[in-house]
């Protein structure tokens, strides 16, 4: 059962080939047996999942089940889950049990999906390798000595290892697409405002966006149908009709113009990655798409702009974690100041502290205009580049990451080198555009990702292109050497 896609599992459930309890138990058994090799889960909700599965079987038998009823899912541990620990990969929230569900979690509960557990992640979503988690690093199922990518590395590894068919994730600067690429799965970051952020613990509020991770584009479309939609509780949510993302998956892509940014194929790109990506672009061309070179002239400024804006917003968002209200509190504080100082010093990891310090500095008096305001001006230039490009092309394609998965510790002593792993993904977050990654090859048995970037609210077009590519390739069907 674990080798079936979500769509295939839905068919099996509806046909009575297996029950939700059997399906859920199968994945729980795999997590028990195999996850010690990957550390992809922080919490496994076995009793809760089996209770949900039994209720789903009753609904399936009664004939009143929603479309995805009885199918397993796992949530990134950044989404609040009522009665289930939500740690955000941090010691600061190790004991936090929310009294409510995030809107995304609530939507999947309404759809009848069964929650297997909460997946590991970089602390407060700050990282590109899943090495900053308080609960230890996640291992890439393709190579256990390599990172799975971050910050949604737990969700990506769980799907790649066939411990879960699908998962939720979040993307602030590439945190869905980069681990999807390094683990050989499909991940999609929707347009900013397309998916509610209510109940999703904030990193950088103007950049964070929840999205689906799955084996293929069809499964991602099924999940996005549930995730997307207006939420009055989220002031950044966009009130706009949600299409059926599965309805247009099979549309012909002949005549579609695909933009190829020349800045994404520079000296920083691994030649083997470029070869795999260009081969994938050739397949789109074989299906009738037109390839057109475009320029995103300010793309080289995306990393420095991001690493001013994101830490600045993080420093503000994380100020609430002070030991006074909830989360970690130091032992025996001398006074209020001591409690604040030691709770934050002991509760946060090094990368989080680094970003808080950078962000606070960028927002401080005398430096706001020089750093944060300037970064926001660059952000507008990056958005304008995309606006100009979409006047000429229908979709943009290129590499997701410059390199395949790297070994643990390879970039730990060089934060700038780590940040450059997101060089092709960050711009979509700064512009608020939808983007996704899908498998397009391997380098030394390490997956390579093809990135697609769409215009605002054109997730359906991206999914259509991805699905058509996956119909003529088998990279997304390959799995690491796991039974």
Cis peptide before 151 (omega within 30 of 0): yes
Could you write out the three-class secondary structure of the chain? CCCCCHHHHHHHHHHCCCCHHHHHHHHHHHHHHHHHHCCCEEEECHHHHHHHHHHHHHHHHHCCCCCCCCCEEEEECCECECCECCCCCCHHHCCCCCCCCCHHHHHHHHCCCEEEEEECCCHHHCCCCCCCCCCCCCCECCECCECCCCCCHHHHHHHHCCCCCCEEEEECCCCCHHHHHHHCCEEEECCCCCECCCCECCCCCCCCEEEEEECCHHHHHHHHHHHECCCCCCCCCCCCCCCCCCCCCCCCCCCCEEEEEHHHCCCCCCHHHHHHHHHHHHHHHHCCCEEEEECCCCHHHHHHHHHHHHHHHHHHHHHHCCCCCCCCCCCCCCCHHHHHHHHHHHHCCHHHHHHHHHHHHHHCCCCHHHHHHHHHHHHHHHHHHHHHHCCCCCEEEEECCCCCCCECCCCCCCHHHHHHHHCCCHHHHHHCCCEEEEEEEEECCEEEEEEEEECCCCHHHHHHHHHHHHHCCCHHHCCCCCC
**Backbone dihedral angles phi then psi of residue 50, each to the nearest 5 degrees:** -70, -35
Looking at 151, 152, 196, 437, which residue is catalytic? 151
175 is catalytic: yes
Place of tokens 């737990």: 154
Name the token pair of 385: 């580049």
- End-to-end Cα separation, the chain, in angstroms: 11
Residue among 20, 40, 43, 76 flagged as catalytic: 76
Paired tokens of 334: 């001398």
Pairing of strands 114-119, 257-261: unpaired
Structural contact between residues 140 and 157, judged by C-beta atoms closer than 8 angstroms: yes
Active-site position among 20, 43, 128, 175:
175
The catalytic residues are 76, 151, 175
């Amino acid at each position: 059962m674990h080798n079936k896609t979500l769509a295939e599992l839905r068919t099996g459930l509806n046909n009575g080939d297996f029950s939700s309890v059997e399906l859920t138990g199968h994945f729980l058994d795999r997590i028990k047996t195999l996850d010690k090799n990957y550390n992809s889960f922080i919490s496994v909700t076995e009793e809760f999942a089996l209770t949900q599965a039994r209720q789903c079987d009753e609904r399936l038998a009664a004939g009143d089940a929603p479309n995805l009823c009885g199918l397993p899912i796992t949530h990134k541990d950044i989404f609040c889950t009522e009665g289930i620990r939500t740690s955000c990969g941090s010691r600061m929230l190790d004991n936090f049990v929310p009294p409510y569900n995030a809107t995304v979690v609530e939507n999947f509960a309404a759809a009848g999906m069964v929650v297997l557990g909460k997946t590991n992640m970089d602390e407060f979503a700050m990282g590109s390798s899943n090495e900053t988690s308080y609960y230890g690093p996640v291992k890439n199922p393709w190579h256990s000595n390599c990172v799975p990518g971050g910050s949604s590395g737990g969700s990506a590894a769980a799907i790649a290892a066939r411990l879960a068919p699908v998962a939720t994730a979040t993307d602030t600067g590439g945190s869905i697409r980069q681990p999807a690429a390094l683990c050989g799965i499909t991940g999609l970051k929707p347009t900013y405002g397309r998916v509610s952020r209510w109940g999703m613990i904030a990193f950088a509020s103007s950049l964070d966006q929840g999205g689906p991770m799955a084996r293929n584009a069809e499964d991602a479309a099924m999940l996005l149908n549930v995730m997307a939609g207006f939420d009055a509780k989220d002031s950044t949510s966009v009130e706009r009709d949600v299409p059926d993302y599965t309805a247009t998956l099979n549309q012909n892509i002949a005549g579609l113009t695909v933009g190829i940014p020349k800045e994404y194929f520079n000296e920083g790109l691994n030649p083997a990655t470029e070869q795999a990506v260009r081969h994938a672009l050739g397949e789109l061309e074989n299906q009738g798409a037109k390839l057109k070179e475009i320029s995103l002239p300010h793309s080289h400024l995306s990393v420095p702009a991001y690493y001013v804006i994101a830490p600045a917003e993080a420093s503000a968002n994380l100020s609430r974690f002070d030991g006074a209200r909830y989360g970690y509190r130091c032992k025996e504080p001398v006074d209020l100041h001591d409690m604040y100082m030691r709770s934050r010093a002991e509760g946060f990891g090094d990368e989080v502290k680094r970003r808080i310090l950078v962000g606070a500095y960028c927002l401080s008096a005398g430096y706001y205009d020089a750093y944060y305001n300037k970064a926001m001006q660059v952000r507008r230039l990056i958005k304008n580049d995309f606006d100009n490009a979409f006047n000429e092309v229908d979709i943009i394609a290129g590499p997701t990451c410059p390199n395949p998965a790297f070994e643990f510790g390879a970039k730990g002593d060089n934060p700038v080198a780590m940040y450059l792993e997101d060089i092709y993904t960050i711009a979509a977050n700064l512009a608020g555009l939808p983007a996704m990654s899908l498998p397009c090859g391997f380098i030394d048995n390490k997956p390579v990702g093809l990135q697609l970037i769409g215009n605002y609210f054109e997730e359906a077009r991206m999914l259509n292109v991805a699905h058509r590519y996956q119909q003529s390739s088998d990279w997304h069907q390959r799995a690491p050497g796991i039974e």
